[in-house]
Structure 1
Amino acid sequence: MSQPAPSAPTLRALLSRADLGLRLAPGERPSAAIEQPIRWVHSSDLADPTPFLAEEMVILTTGTQFSGDEREQYEEYVRRLAHRGVVALGFGTEVARAGIPEALAQACEEHAVPLFEVPYRTPFIAVARAVAEAIAAAAYARRTWALSAQRAVALAALRRDGLGSAVSELSRQLGVWTGLFDSAGALVRASGALEGEIADRVQSECEVMLARGASAAGVVRVAERSVTLQTLGPGGSLRGVLAVATEGLDEEARSVVTAVVAMTGFALEQNEALARARGTLRAGVVRALLTGDTVLASEIADATWGGFPADPVVVGLTSAAPDALAAFLELRAGREQGSFFFGPDASGGIALVQSAAAPLALDDLAERFDVAIGLSEPTALASFAPALEEARIARDRGAGVVRFGDVASAGVLSTLSPDAASVARTVLLPIATHDETHGTAILDTLRVWLLHDARFDDAARALGVHRHTVRTRVRLAERLLDRDLQSFAARAEIWVALLAAR
């Protein structure tokens, strides 16, 4: 049920009051003008009352301001009223003169100002009171509707999908387009299509508001259309944006929107405890998977989130994640039950289990929430623990989305951490110091010698020196390093140090 049209009094409604006895002037034909709403009724016999008038008013006069029947005075009088936006003119007959002056009727016809007769027995105050009562009745009806609409939205919020149901009911009550954007700026619920430039502008503005992270409201206007935006949730932990097309909404309709925003914010605050409980339960499922108890983990997932995706799965792990990412994943998991699972990891990131056949689009997720995401090779859910370690190694290799298969193809040495470089430089420091102090090239000679599988002749040819020179330099390197480079293990360690230091 959409909002009822405003039932403000009109000239037609006023003329239909039999107790007032009002009637259109002789020769006056009903037109669309008599359907205009009336804001108020004012009586005046001033020659020019327009400085004291507002738009959508009805003027009542007895005509004492007119002298004679000169047409010009009537024409000028009505012209001013029409320019001021007066809805209609009521002429009280049998007070200053009998009947309605013909010149006045002609002027009203020319300027499309409806003219009606107020009989002598009907006091002007009765007409004003009738309009005042109608305005009060219309206002009461709108307030009653607003309370009814707020009640309907509140009941909708008690359904399983409370927030989405409330937004849908809001659209039904107002009869306008409404949309709900999640914490990532994606449109997750809408009462219909919002097309063209206005749709693009609304999407862009929602993303900007969410990126700022502060509670805010805004209006997007394109041509004759306008959409009001209001963030949901507390600043620093926004849960989404409510969008409502606002053209044609009066004060009562806007109060319903305000009530929905307030109710939604309160509901989100109340749901914080529930969200923490869900997070704790998800963390427990992750721990069960790590210990190999897939039966317990699957029972909980089946009863709560629609289960895990079928094997083979890909395990993911994010870097330290903001609360908004968990909120976004929770919303998505609610819509796509069983398609993926997520839960907090002890490292502060979020562990993901997704189908290898239908993986999530994680590149946009990593960019939107500024997190690194590592992905394991496809595996069975029972192998969650080693797959999570693969995801951890891939995640620590760089920004964005990194797959363990790509890391493995780069070789074992590519997995060396930044700490390895520091250790390597410390190990090689005696040689580097000797070269800098004495102008020697022991370090370069050692690198070339190891590169040629510790063969002195080959290294000498590569360096362009005598093989005894290479041998002497290697012996000096052994003394500086305090290592015997005749063993493979020692040479391998120094070779890794040389690679890491670079």
Structure 2
Amino acid sequence: MTYSDAEPTLRALLARRELDLRLASDEADLAPDALDRPTRWVHSSDLADPTPFLAEDLVLLTTGTQFGLRAPADVFAEYVRRLVDRGVTGLGFGTEVARAGIPVHLATACRAARLPLFEVPYSTPFIAVARANAATIAAQAYARRSWALSAQRAISLAALRPDGLRATIGELARQLDTWVGMYDAAGELVQEHPAGALDAATAGVLREEVGAVLRRGARAGSSLRSRSHAFTLQTLGRGGQLRGVVAIAAGDLDREGRDVVTSVIAMSGLALEQHQRLSRARGALRAGMVQSLRSGNPALARRISRDVWGPLPAAPVVVALTDAAASRSEPLLELLELRADERHGSLFYGRADDGLVIVVPASHADDLAEIPERFDVDLGVSSPADYDGFDAAVDQARVARDRGGRGMSGFADVGDTGILSALDTHEGRALARTLLDPLTAADAGQGTRLTETVRAWLEADGSHEATAAALGVHRHTVRARLAAAERLLGRDLTSFAVRAELWAALHVAPG
């Protein structure tokens, strides 16, 4: 960003013809930026040690009366050393006041310390030098304020454009003459200007830092320095409800630069709040489309999708279902919206009663893997299906989610475990225990083997002879035990339904 052509530096002072200043040092002997460092003030003093009264980045003027006429070289060397240690950027010597010309020992000491030394002629008052530098500082401050006002006006106008958010980020980048990027609540880079300006390594480091800022959830500004770049990060949104992060490829901004960034943060936050309200309305529409698809009316959902977002994913599709908590995850919703925009017609999502329904073409099923990896959610995925089997596919996804392990589980994997495994839940085990309690109580209290006998009889397909052989008892003993079991259970063991229920209970009950 450019504030003014005249910066308050020693070079600018030396360039003022009316002051008639002359650089006594050879510029080749100075540090590369010695003449171009900002000069905060110009002060005059003839004290032997003025450093207690000086500030950094100050130019000191002296007439040399503190040295006397016969001061040795080490006095000058120590004097210059103290000035350099204090951060003085230049020394002006007023000639023809206390002595003619600049003392040789002073010039030697300044050359050794690489401190710029210049002559102030008798005709130039010290106050004129100080006033000239002060005028340059005031002019630069005015230019900075004018720039800030102009920049804020330009950014405000950009915000009124149809692509307001993109235009705002672009205008901020132009005003600051640097790269600016905006990340959403999921940590995805959604806007940048100029596009592709960061190398892959720097972009990766920056993304990790943005992710850490979002995970902390606190509204704050921070900075990041890599080997080649320095960044300023500003969060968007309220603490605990962050909507994103604006990253600026600039380490330190002055007050005017920070004011401009603050105005962009405010406008971006407002735009994102409006976007959030629109997203809630779209979310309700998406939920209705999910219900339409589940009720066997894909034509309505196709029509709405085509008019609002584009076509639904082409069949055959796979249907994924997250856990219930994920349906309220703003970062996940931000990512899904971003992916839906990127993969036009290849991803649809919407809320169901117990999670988010996500639909992709069967050929893109692997794309779903990033969801549990990034957001630590459970995700069940159905087998490929057409839209006329959408409701069944949702049920498959639910089974895969509830019966699978952590992360992403496919119905084809969990479906091979059999129907009985679906009963292996807390409720199923409790019911099984209740059904079998009369038998286990009798076995424990009377030493009978009723539970063992019923299990062996069911495994032998109801054959008394096979059961007797398996248990090593007489078949009449088997009949007696089964009769006792019928009395305790109050059930007819000749009924297939009773046998099936007992079989399930024996497989589900603990122990």
Same fold (TM over 0.5): yes
Compared with structure 1, are the counterparts of its residues 431 and 164 closer, same or farther at alpha carbon in structure 2 (3 Å cutoff)? farther
For the Cα contact (< 8 Å) 1:377–1:403, is it kept in 2? yes
CA contact (8 A) 2:319 2:382 kept: yes
Determine the C-alpha separation between the residues in 1 that align with 2:423 and 2:38. Answer: 79
Greater than 6 Å deviation, 4+ residue runs: none
Shift of 1:35: 3.0
Where does residue 91 of structure 1 map in the other structure?
93
2:66 maps to which residue?
65
| Corresponding residue to 1:303 among 281, 299, 307 | 307
C-alpha displacement of 1:69? 4.5
Which whole-Å CA distance do the structure 1 matches of 2:170 and 2:389 have between them?
A: 43
1:6–1:142 Cα contact (<8 Å) kept: no
Shift of residue 498, structure 1, vs aligned partner: 2.0
Give the 3 Å change call, closer, same or farther, for CA 83–457 of structure 1 in structure 2: same
Counterpart residue number, 2:12: 13
Verify the 8 A CA contact 1:354 1:360 in the aligned structure 2: no
Decide whether the 8 Å contact of 2:183 with 2:189 is kept in 1.
yes
Find the aligned partners of 1:331 and 1:147 in 2 and give their Cα distance: 34
CA shift for structure 1 position 298: 1.5
Alignment of 1:449-468 (within 5 A): 449-468=457-476
Describe the SS at the equivalent of 1:440: coil
Distance 1:299 1:158, change over 3 A: farther
State the SS of the aligned residue for 1:238. strand
Partner of 1:252: 256
Normalised TM-score (structure 2): 0.87
Q: What is the CA deviation profile of residues 305-336 of structure 1, one whole-angstrom value per residue up to 9, with x for unaligned ones?
A: 22211111111222212332223322332333
Unaligned runs of at least 5 residues, structure 1:
none
SS of aligned partner of 2:49: coil
CA drift at 1:469: 0.7
Asked if structure 1 preserves the Cα contact closer than 8 Å seen for 2:44 and 2:60, the reply is yes
* 8 A Cα contact 1:180 1:188, kept in partner: yes
Structure 2 match to 1:213: 217
Verify: 1:378 aligned to 2:379, yes or no.
no
Q: Report matched runs for 1:289-438 at 5 Å.
A: 289-320=293-324, 321=326, 322-324=328-330, 325-345=332-352, 347-359=353-365, 361-398=367-404, 399-416=406-423, 418=425, 419-438=427-446
Matches within 5 A, 1:185-264: 185-190=187-192, 191=195, 192-196=197-201, 201-222=205-226, 225-247=229-251, 249-264=253-268
Q: Which amino acid aligns with 1:285?
A: M
Q: Is the 8 A contact 1:43 1:59 kept in 2?
A: yes
Shift of the 89–439 alpha-carbon distance from structure 1 to 2, 3 Å rule, reads: same
Q: 1:158, 1:384 → 2: CA distance?
A: 42
Query: Pairwise mapping of residues 100-139 of structure 1 onto structure 2 (< 5 A)?
Result: 100-139=102-141
Q: Distance in 1 between matches of 2:133 and 2:3?
A: 20
SS of corresponding position for 1:292: coil
Distance 2:256 2:207 in 1: 27
Deviations along 1:46-81, one digit per CA (max 9) or x if unpaired, are 122222112221112223323214452444433433
Query: Which among 442, 448, 457 is matched to residue 440 of structure 1?
Result: 448
Q: Which amino acid is the alignment partner of residue 421 of structure 2?
A: S
How far apart are the structure 2 equivalents of 1:487 and 1:366? 46
CA deviations on 1:420-452 (whole Å, 9 max, x unpaired) are 332222222222222222111111100110111
The 1-side partners of 2:2 and 2:312 are apart by 44
Between stretches 70-79 and 418-427, larger displacement belongs to: 70-79
Q: Matched residues in 1 for 2:125 and 2:474: separation? A: 128
Change (3 A) 1:313 1:157: farther
Contact 2:110 2:117 in 1 (8 A): yes
Partner of 2:84: 82
Instruction: Say if 2:52 is the partner of 1:45.
Output: no
How far off its partner does 1:153 sit?
4.2
CA distance in 2, matches of 1:316, 1:85: 65
Overall identity of the aligned pairs, in %: 53
2:232–2:251 contact (8 Å) kept in structure 1: no
* Gap change, CA 1:29 and 1:69, over 3 Å in 2: farther
TM-aligned CA distance change 1:8 to 1:376, over 3 Å: same
Counterpart in the other structure of 1:495? 503
Distance in 2 separating the partners of 1:10 and 1:495? 92
Please give the alpha-carbon distance, in whole angstroms, between the structure 2 residues aligned to 1:410 and 1:350: 25
The answer to whether residue 474 in structure 2 is matched with residue 473 in structure 1 is no
Instruction: Return the alpha-carbon distance in structure 2 between the equivalents of residues 435 and 6 of structure 1.
Output: 99
Do the aligned residues in 2 keep the contact of 1:62 with 1:96 (CA within 8 Å)? yes
- Distance in 2 (CA, whole Å) between partners of 1:441 and 1:182 is 65
Deviations 1:322-356 (A, max 9, x none): 332223322332333322011111x1411111111
Q: Say if 2:4 and 2:140, in contact at 8 Å, map to a contact too.
A: no
* Structure 2 residues not aligned, in runs of 5+: none
Separation (CA, whole Å) in 2 of partners of 1:439 and 1:157:
84
**Is 1:24 aligned to 2:20, yes or no?**
no
1:14/1:3 CA distance change after superposition, 3 Å: closer
How far did residue 395 of structure 1 move?
2.3
State the distance in 2 between where 1:485 and 1:29 align.
109
CA contact under 8 A between 2:19 and 2:128: conserved in structure 1?
yes
Question: Could you say what the CA RMSD is over the residues aligned between the two structures, in angstroms?
Answer: 2.9
Q: 1:224: how far off?
A: 7.0
**Structure 1 position 38, deviation (Å):** 1.6
On the 8 A contact 1:201/1:220 being kept in 2, the answer is: no
Question: For the Cα contact (< 8 Å) 1:237–1:323, is it kept in 2?
Answer: no
Bigger mean CA deviation after superposition, 141-150 or 276-285 = 141-150
Return the letter of the residue paired with 1:378.
Answer: P
2:272 paired with 1:268: yes
Seen in structure 2, the aligned counterparts of structure 1 residues 467 and 5 have a Cα distance that, compared at 3 Å, is farther
**SS of corresponding position for 1:35:** coil
1:183 Cα deviation after fit: 2.9
Shift in Å, 1:244: 3.2
1:216/1:39 Cα in 2 relative to 1: closer, same or farther (>3 Å)? closer
